[in-house]
Structures are given as structure tokens and as C-alpha cells.
Structure 1
């Protein structure tokens, strides 16, 4: 049997065999052991002794007050328990946030990019009727990102509008085209761009100017510019041929 004692002179606390304690005195060996095995052997011999031998030194001791360590241990346990509870609460919040984000990212398959005007108007109507639904395209398109305002805007617009639809859109809605400035999707695009840390503080005017330019170039994309150049070349060639024929007739 062992007891925890505190030596009066040195104020050291140690664990010693109970057999070495008598009348407030602790009888310790005069020499230290060099190994763990030797120490165990001598401790065993001490437990079997009937009397304390002169080879032991005597030190005054008192039983270490355990009540002083218990509150400290209790505080440590409570502190760690509180940390565990905080970690569990954080994990639960993260899991809930992930579930909410997955729900908000649930975009119908084939919805985007919008292929024609009826689908555009249908999406606009759904956004107007349900403000919560507006957050879905914002969250989904907001993951696209980009290196700057132009790059981010063009990437989002490419995912939002098919080029065949973009040809029938412009900013103000002139020349029989649909106005983008009056659409709810305009706010969706601006919200997406501001979700990007690089473009978080962008002004609406800068985004609107970038949208205008993207729409203006819709006719040049997907081979449109090359096709127009070939058409112009064909017309010019026809005019030259016609001029030559007229010269020959003269």
C-alpha cells in the first residue's frame, strides 16, 4: 500500500510505501537505486521489514491534502468537457449549413444555360413568386469564380444564357430584343460576382458595363464573326463579278 505525502522541509510531494511511514516520520533509504527493477526489489524488501533499519534516513512528513488537487482536477475535466461540447456544436452547425447549401444548390437538370426566351421568362416568374428560389441560381453560379470582374462576369453569363438566347438580348431592350436591365437575373449576376472574394466590392455600374459588352459580342461567338466575314467576302466577290460582266457588255 502506498500513500501520497508532503515533506515539511522541502515541500515536495511523493508517493511512498506506507510501511516507511511511522508517527509523522518517513524513513527513506540513504542510497538511490540505479534502475527501475532494483527500485522495485528494494520496495518489496521494505514492505516485508518488521522494523525500520538504521540504513534509512528520517524526514518529517504530512499526508498531502487531496482536497486541494481535486478542485483543480475537476476544473480541468469541466474545461475539457466544455471544449468537447463546443466542438460538437460547431460540427452540428457545419453539418446543418452543408445540408442547407446542398438544398440551395439543387438546380433542376437542364435548366441552365437558358436556351430560349420562354425558359427565361419562366425562370423570371419563379424568382418573382419565390424570393427563396432566387438564392438557388445565386449559390450555383457563385461557385464559378473568376480572376477579375470581366472574367467572372463572362463565365457566369456563359453558364446562364445560351448564345442563341443572348443574340436576342441587350441591355435596354431596343430593336425588338429583351432588356436584361429589367430582369431579376441581373441582380443574380451581380450577387454571384460579389460572392467572389476577388470581386466582392465591385460597383454595379462596372458589372453592368461588362454585361453590355458580353451581349454585344453574342453575334460574334460560335463562328458568327467568321460567318459574317465570309458572307461579306461572297457579296464583294459577286459585286466584282457583276462589275466585270457589265464592263464586258459595254
Structure 2
């Protein structure tokens, strides 16, 4: 076991060593999901939620987004959405969703947050995942390159 959450005012909790956050592959995500579903890990899951609640933020949106960013990378987030449409994983069916909600409710700033608000901010965070870490710039560059290779039509004036 390793200690997690060594911030000045953040409590310290034991966390399973085999997971490195943020999770950066589908394999790690699947292993983590299996670990979360195991009832023997309930105490550790509670400790994880408490540790993640110390990430903080200024409002519900920032707390949700900060916790999600701490849990998974944008690369992994690009393959997840709320309902699991378009061949992506359904976050609303994942065990990680329960940990997120618990962590948000344990955070002092967002302890009274409504589940609907947490869901809304989670949906938006996954929607914008493709724009983070240079994703938008990559798409613009691909568009620009494809336009450069298109033949220019003859214009007659």
C-alpha cells in the first residue's frame, strides 16, 4: 500500500499501488474498473473517493473537471462519453462514475451538489476531451492540409 494525498490540509489515505493516476490506457482503465467492481475493495474505493475530493476547485464544474483530469488522461477520455454512443464506453455505467460522485460530494465546496449538475459537468468534460492536449489544433492542421491538396477550380472572369 502507498500513501496518497499528501497536501498540506489534505488527509492521507492508503491507495492500491498498482494504479498510476491518471490512467492512460484502455487496459489500465479496464483493470481499474474490475478492481472497483470487486466488493473486497469497498474500503479502498471509499479512501480513493476521499483522496480525490481533496483535489478541489472553485465550484462544482471545476471540482468535477479536476477530479476527472486526475483520474484519466485526455487520450482515454476521448474514447468515453456519458451514454456510450458511437462505439465509446458509457461512463454512466462505469464503476468510476460512482467514485466521481462520491468524491464530489465529499469535497467541502460541493458537498451539496446535485447529481444532475455533476452529470452535466461530466458530460461536458467528455465532450471537450477531443479539444484538449492539442486535439483542436491537430484537427485544424489536418483540415488545412486536406484543403491544400484539393485541386483549385478554374475560374473564368
Alignment of 1:131-142 (within 5 A): 131-142=42-53
Query: Who is 2:59 aligned against?
Result: 148
Measure how far apart 1:132 and its partner are.
Answer: 1.7
Alignment of 1:204-215 (within 5 A): 204-215=115-126
Deviating 4+ runs (over 6 angstroms)? none
Select 2:89's aligned residue among 164, 173, 178: 178
Alignment of 1:46-57 (within 5 A): none
Alignment of 1:74-113 (within 5 A): 102=12, 104-108=13-17, 111-113=20-22
Query: Who is 1:165 aligned against?
Result: 76
Measure how far apart 1:133 and its partner are.
Answer: 2.3
Q: Is the 8 A contact 2:16 2:44 kept in 1?
A: no
Q: Is the 8 A contact 2:36 2:45 kept in 1?
A: yes
Aligned residues: 143
Query: Who is 1:219 aligned against?
Result: 130
Structure 1 unaligned residues grouped into runs of 5+: 1-100
Relative contact order, higher structure (CA 8 A, sep 6+) = 2
Larger Rg belongs to: 1
**Greater per-residue helix proportion:** 1
TM-score w.r.t. the length of structure 2 is 0.83
Deviation larger for 105-114 or 134-143: 105-114
Query: What secondary structure sits across from 2:15 in the alignment?
Result: coil
User: What do the CA deviations read for 1:143-194 (whole angstroms, capped 9, x no partner)?
Assistant: 1011001111111000101111101111111111111001111111111111
Change (3 A) 1:176 1:225: same
Measure how far apart 1:110 and its partner are.
Answer: 5.0
Query: What secondary structure sits across from 1:105 in the alignment?
Result: strand
Structure 2: how far apart are the matches of 1:139 and 1:109?
18
Structure 1: how far apart are the matches of 2:46 and 2:20?
15
Q: Is the 8 A contact 2:130 2:136 kept in 1?
A: yes
TM-score w.r.t. the length of structure 1 is 0.54
**Greater per-residue strand proportion:** 1
